[in-house]
Amino acid sequence: MAAPLFPAVREALCLTDPYAKADAAQAIWAAWQAGQLDHTAPPCPPPDQAGRPPRPQLVPPQAVPRRRLGTPAGRAALVHAITHIEFNAINLALDAAGRFHGLPRDYYGDWLRVAAEEAHHFRLLSNHLNSLAYAYGDFPAHDGLWVMAEKTAGDVLTRMTLVPRLLEARGLDVTPAMQARLLAAGDRTAAGLLDIIFRDEVGHVAVGNRWFRWLCAERGLDPAETFRDHLVKFEVSRNIGELNIEARLQAGFELDELAVLQAYALSAE
């Protein structure tokens, strides 16, 4: 008999040790693939705040020190920032799987797979950080990703709209430039790790797009209008930056949705 899915996800979310959490995410995915977890069992709401270690120190985004890649510490600080994003991404994917109930089985499988892949990314980056004589927690970081998770906790459509399709998709835009900076600074290993992460993140954003469209269809909503409405309602920053159109199209965005995002950004000018 399969065990209930939601208590297992909650237990993983509550873990404060990042390495134990990464292991748990991968173990849950393996159990799901083996048919050992039941998503139709009674819900078990996830915690309001996902477990996290006492370090890194969390500060407002504008208070995170500037990363100067001309020094070993600066390169390590950038790797640490990406490591922190991947740690938060584990929590975000687990929360997407554990918070929302009554969805198709494939929904849960998609997000459990994403959580396991984010755990793999965290391990890769953390190991590289160790090779630079630093550890996860050694630099300050911000909590912007989880703040958005809290804002979108009440509705799965809002979560799909504003986390994978907005915040995580931003990674598709900025990763190539980050890789170029790391290569210029001589860190070929980190740049190579970003190749792996970028490939997987295209798939993760595609998961968000898949379920955003499914939910829009179920509710009789127009995707582009729904995207625009959420940007306005949640007062998303208009500092969108340059879009990686090719990667976003590969991840399942439609051209009219990208036009909505660009128009939203331009309306601030």
The CATH number of the domain holding residue 210 is 1.20.1260
pLDDT for the residue numbered 268: 56
pLDDT for the residue numbered 269: 47
Q: Is residue 51 part of a domain?
A: no
Q: Is residue 205 part of a domain?
A: yes
Q: Is the dihedral of CA 256, 262, 268, 269 positive or negative?
A: negative
Which domain range does residue 120 map to? 3-41+67-266
Q: Is residue 62 part of a domain?
A: no
Q: Is residue 189 part of a domain?
A: yes
Could you give the CA distance from residue 209 to residue 251 in angstroms, rounded to a whole number? 7
pLDDT tens track of the chain, all 269 residues? 789 999 999 999 999 999 999 999 999 999 999 999 999 988 888 898 999 999 999 888 777 777 778 888 999 999 999 999 999 999 999 999 999 999 999 999 999 999 999 999 999 999 999 999 999 999 999 887 788 889 999 999 999 999 999 999 999 999 999 999 999 989 999 999 999 999 999 999 999 999 999 999 999 999 999 999 999 999 998 888 899 999 999 999 999 999 999 999 887 54
Q: Is residue 54 part of a domain?
A: no
Q: Is residue 239 part of a domain?
A: yes
H-helix or E-strand spanning residue 246 = helix 245-250
Q: Which residue has the tokens 């892949």?
A: 117
The closest alpha carbon to 94, from 144, 28, 150, belongs to 28
pLDDT for the residue numbered 241: 87
- Alpha helices by DSSP H, listed for the chain, are 5-14, 18-33, 72-99, 105-131, 144-151, 156-162, 169-184, 188-219, 223-233, 245-250, 255-266
Q: How many domains does the chain have?
A: 1
Q: Is residue 25 part of a domain?
A: yes
pTM (2 d.p.): 0.95
